[in-house]
Amino acid sequence: MTATTDGSTGATLPTRAAAASEPVLTTPVAAGVHQAAEHAARRATDFLLSKQDAEGWWKGDLETNVTMDAEDLLLRQFLGIQDEATTRAAALFIRGEQREDGTWATFYGGPGDLSATIEAYVALRLAGDAPDAPHMAKAAAWVRARGGIAAARVFTRIWLALFGWWKWEDLPELPPELIYFPTWFPLNIYDFGCWARQTIVPLTIVSAKRPVRPAPFPLDELHTDPARPNPVKPTARAASWDGAFQRLDKALHAFRKVAPRRLRRSAMNTAARWIIERQENDGCWGGIQPPAVYSIIALHLMGYDLQHPVMRAGLKSLDRFAVWREDGARMIEACQSPVWDTCLATIALADAGLPADHPQLVKAADWMLGEEIVRPGDWSVRRPGLPPGGWAFEFHNDNYPDIDDTAEVALALRRVRHHDPERLDKAIGRGVRWNLGMQSKNGAWGAFDVDNTSPFPNRLPFCDFGEVIDPPSADVTAHVVEMLAVEGLAHDPRTRRGIQWLLAEQEPDGSWFGRWGVNYIYGTGSVVPALTAAGLPASHPAIRRAVAWLERVQNDDGGWGEDLRSYRDTKKWSGKGASTASQTAWALMALLAAGEKDSGAVERGVRWLADTQREDGSWDEPYFTGTGFPWDFSINYHLYRQVFPLTALGRYLHGDPFAAEAPAGRPLAEAKGS
């Protein structure tokens, strides 16, 4: 069996090839659903406990798509630091992800993606694959049939411009003077979501410098017309948003020619300082691979040589995103998720009946307490008077704690009987206070920032890939509401505003949109437990509509699944897709919270989880059920297939761990932890 490490302890996880070829190992369920659930929960608990790192954390692989691997090779080519072993290992992984039609997709079972295919193709050419090789010729023909490089996203064309395969003047302009825009001015850097902000600031330097390294080969085979590779695109009508921003881009191109040199140089220096100030202790930026890559390029262009401490630390951090597989292939993670995985694993194990003072739960709590962020970050630009508190997603990301992780960490810590309860209470108190302070004016919560809802960033010609703002979402808001309810703040006016927002956001069919997980099943699986935790009765019309929707979309095999295409075609794909362990668990968590334990839908869902569990206590899940950007950037969290099924089974067997407490029952002194 081919396997891959889980990114933490050296344990192995099945690859897609193994998932497709091996038989599913089933659990006998003749003794009844309850017994089957107990058996499955025991095995899942043992499996999950075996994956904990000695320091107390869990981390599964975070799988995205081959653009991460291709751009890593392009960066090494640009900096002149490529080596044969890394190139060979990356190429092995990229080739293994190519589909029969010659393309590369951005998620399992998805359609071929033009930009991903172009970047993968270029990476393989850097690795020495000949353009007339059958797999390369097939990919190139597919690219040409869909418009060639000219039809690719802006980010892909930026990478190609670095080597002269595309003209810089045919890319949208991104002036470094943007760094000077005050926070009240449209399109200032804090109008962008934190992930976009960390990418755009270094790219303003790259855009201003317009570097070109000698191309090691031509790419004529990827153009529909090699004699005219950069066709002029028509301009939209002036009265439209697209037309207005296209004309703004033309104005910025004109400004480039007359921009005062002193102003431009000063802006680039300010941007470089901004980047350096946000470098994390491990050398990365924001715990995310793309901003790290662009920051390294930008600083290199500003004169920082590769031996400078900032550059050495940044380059070293990139190696931590690499997952080496047993077959010698090397996959690049876009990000790493230890805090998220650890709090979810803690919740799963506690809900499955592991004693609250179990040594491994206490060790997990100790590690999470050590990860608390106690200094201001970029969020304080909008909330300057708010004391810090909370948790980030990654190992090192003190500049960008996130609201979702903070809520789930608080819920996880409350499940542990810690040897220092005062320390635990104070940490949770700081997190609750910070989360309450990060509430947006509509009563809901985004992931990283407050009221990050400007309509302008997404209109920029530069921003043609994924979300660049961070508006409130139902799933994040639900997790905060659930945490506040557990902390005795269910009747706090701020919590009630969040509840009212959630009720107003329910779709006509009874579901909720899922921003950070796929999709309506994730949203519904997050919101229903939050609403019932906050005191809404199971008979509430919103809860009944959600139950009815989940029952309608349950698959014939008893599981639930939803394809990522529901983000593009809601009517066709909402709640529809092959059954997966994580999505089945989300549906069960909602139904159980709604009082449906004895329903036929829950029985069939629990049976599906028991029947599809592997002998070692794990589940297989090649499908992507997480999102970075809905549709545009999809994620397969390798631990989702484990933590959420165990949580659902635990709640089926033992109920909600906080159900015995009144919604306003836990004292917290109004979240005044210090």
Given the residues 341, 404, 405, 475, select the one marked as catalytic: 404
Burial of 214 (0-12, 13-18, 19+ CB in 10 A): exposed
Residue 19 lies in a domain: no
Statement to judge: residues 609 and 633 lie in one domain: yes
Average pLDDT over residues 492-506: 98
Residue 523 lies in a domain: yes
Average pLDDT over residues 101-118: 96
Residue 398 lies in a domain: yes
pLDDT tens-digit series, residues 169-196: 999 999 999 999 999 999 999 999 999 9
Burial of 181 (0-12, 13-18, 19+ CB in 10 A): middle
Alpha helices, H only, 281-413: 289-301, 309-319, 338-351, 359-370, 403-413
Q: Which of 313, 332, 351 is the last residue of a domain?
A: 332
Statement to judge: residues 365 and 298 lie in one domain: no
Statement to judge: residues 314 and 404 lie in one domain: no
- Considering the chain, what percentage of its residues have pLDDT values greater than 90? 84
pLDDT value of position 603: 97
Residue 138 pLDDT greater than 60, yes or no: yes
Residue 145 lies in a domain: yes
Look up residue 373 and give its DSSP letter. Answer: -
Statement to judge: residues 300 and 414 lie in one domain: no
Chain CA centroid to CA 444, Å: 20
The C-alpha atoms of residue 611 and residue 558 are separated, in whole angstroms, by: 10
Statement to judge: residues 305 and 352 lie in one domain: no
Answer yes or no: are the C-beta atoms of 111 and 96 closer than 8 Å: no
pLDDT value of position 235: 72
Average pLDDT over residues 518-535: 97
Statement to judge: residues 488 and 511 lie in one domain: yes
HSE at residue 260, side-chain half, CA atoms within 13 A, is 5
25: confidence class by pLDDT, cuts 50, 70, 90:
very low
pLDDT value of position 30: 39
Average pLDDT over residues 419-431: 97
Answer yes or no: are the C-beta atoms of 546 and 594 closer than 8 Å: yes
Q: Which of 303, 332, 361 is the last residue of a domain?
A: 332
HSE at residue 332, side-chain half, CA atoms within 13 A, is 25
pLDDT value of position 674: 35
pLDDT value of position 661: 56
Residue 365, classed as helix, strand or coil, is: helix
Q: Which of 249-263, 367-381, 615-629 has the lowest mean pLDDT?
A: 249-263
pLDDT tens-digit series, residues 80-92: 999 999 999 999 9
Active site residue 404: yes
Q: 402-436 as b/e, with b when 16 or more CB fall inside 10 Å?
A: bbbbbbbbbbbbbbbebeeeeebbbbbbbbbbbbb
pLDDT value of position 673: 38
Average pLDDT over residues 399-418: 97
Residue 617: what are its φ and ψ, rounded to 5°? 95, 0
Q: Which of 332, 354, 370 is the last residue of a domain?
A: 332
The C-alpha atoms of residue 425 and residue 649 are separated, in whole angstroms, by: 28
- Spatial CA neighbour of 18 closest among 6, 42, 38, 1: 1
Q: Where does 381-535 show beta strands of DSSP type E? A: none
Look up residue 56 and give its DSSP letter. Answer: S
Which of residues 431 and 3 earns the better pLDDT score? 431
pLDDT value of position 253: 82
Torsional class of 297: left (φ above 0), alpha (ψ -120 to 50), beta (otherwise): alpha
The C-alpha atoms of residue 315 and residue 309 are separated, in whole angstroms, by: 10
Q: Tell me, what amino acid is at 273?
A: R
Count Cβ atoms below 10 Å from residue 385 Cβ, excluding itself.
6
Tell me the C-alpha to C-alpha distance, in Å, between residue 87 and each of 84, 156, 291, 324.
5, 19, 21, 13
- Domain span at residue 134 reads 67-217+236-332
Residue 512 lies in a domain: yes
HSE at residue 384, side-chain half, CA atoms within 13 A, is 2
Residue 5 pLDDT greater than 60, yes or no: no
pLDDT value of position 14: 33
pLDDT tens-digit series, residues 244-272: 777 777 888 888 888 899 999 999 999 99
Statement to judge: residues 426 and 372 lie in one domain: yes
Q: Mean pLDDT score of the chain, rounded to an integer?
A: 91
pLDDT value of position 467: 86
Answer yes or no: are the C-beta atoms of 395 and 287 closer than 8 Å: yes
Residue 300 pLDDT greater than 50, yes or no: yes
Statement to judge: residues 162 and 255 lie in one domain: yes
Statement to judge: residues 500 and 532 lie in one domain: yes
Contacts of 132 (CB under 8 A, 6+ apart): none
Residue 420, classed as helix, strand or coil, is: coil
- Spatial CA neighbour of 626 closest among 356, 305, 393: 393
Average pLDDT over residues 661-672: 42
Residue 16 pLDDT greater than 60, yes or no: no
Statement to judge: residues 161 and 257 lie in one domain: yes
Residue 579 lies in a domain: yes
pLDDT value of position 460: 81
Give the dihedral of Cα atoms 168, 169, 173, 176; nearest 10 deg. 60
Answer yes or no: are the C-beta atoms of 64 and 634 closer than 8 Å: yes
The C-alpha atoms of residue 254 and residue 258 are separated, in whole angstroms, by: 7
- Spatial CA neighbour of 657 closest among 428, 355, 343: 355
- Tokens describing residue 622: 């090649």
Statement to judge: residues 365 and 314 lie in one domain: no
Average pLDDT over residues 552-575: 96
pLDDT tens-digit series, residues 307-361: 999 999 999 999 999 999 999 999 999 999 999 999 999 999 999 999 999 999 9
Q: From the DSSP assignment, how many helices (H) and strands (E) are in the chain?
A: 24, 7
Residue 559, classed as helix, strand or coil, is: coil
Statement to judge: residues 92 and 135 lie in one domain: yes
pLDDT value of position 232: 62
Burial of 31 (0-12, 13-18, 19+ CB in 10 A): exposed
Residue 670 lies in a domain: no
pLDDT value of position 660: 56
The C-alpha atoms of residue 277 and residue 285 are separated, in whole angstroms, by: 10
Residue 286, classed as helix, strand or coil, is: coil
The C-alpha atoms of residue 377 and residue 386 are separated, in whole angstroms, by: 11
Whether this prediction's pTM lies above 0.75 is answered by yes
pLDDT value of position 658: 83
Answer yes or no: are the C-beta atoms of 668 and 487 closer than 8 Å: yes
Average pLDDT over residues 653-666: 67
Which of residues 151 and 236 earns the better pLDDT score? 151
Residue 43 lies in a domain: yes
pLDDT value of position 335: 93
In this structure, what CATH number is given to the domain that contains residue 296?
Answer: 1.50.10.20
The C-alpha atoms of residue 670 and residue 235 are separated, in whole angstroms, by: 55
Average pLDDT over residues 512-525: 97
Q: 3-state SS of the chain: helix, strand, coil percent to 5?
A: 50, 5, 45
What DSSP string describes 151-171?
GS-HHHHHHHHTTTSS-GGGS
Q: Tell me, what amino acid is at 587?
A: A
Residue 670 pLDDT greater than 50, yes or no: no
Contacts of 251 (CB under 8 A, 6+ apart): none
What's the number of domains the chain is made of? 2
pLDDT tens-digit series, residues 463-473: 777 789 999 99
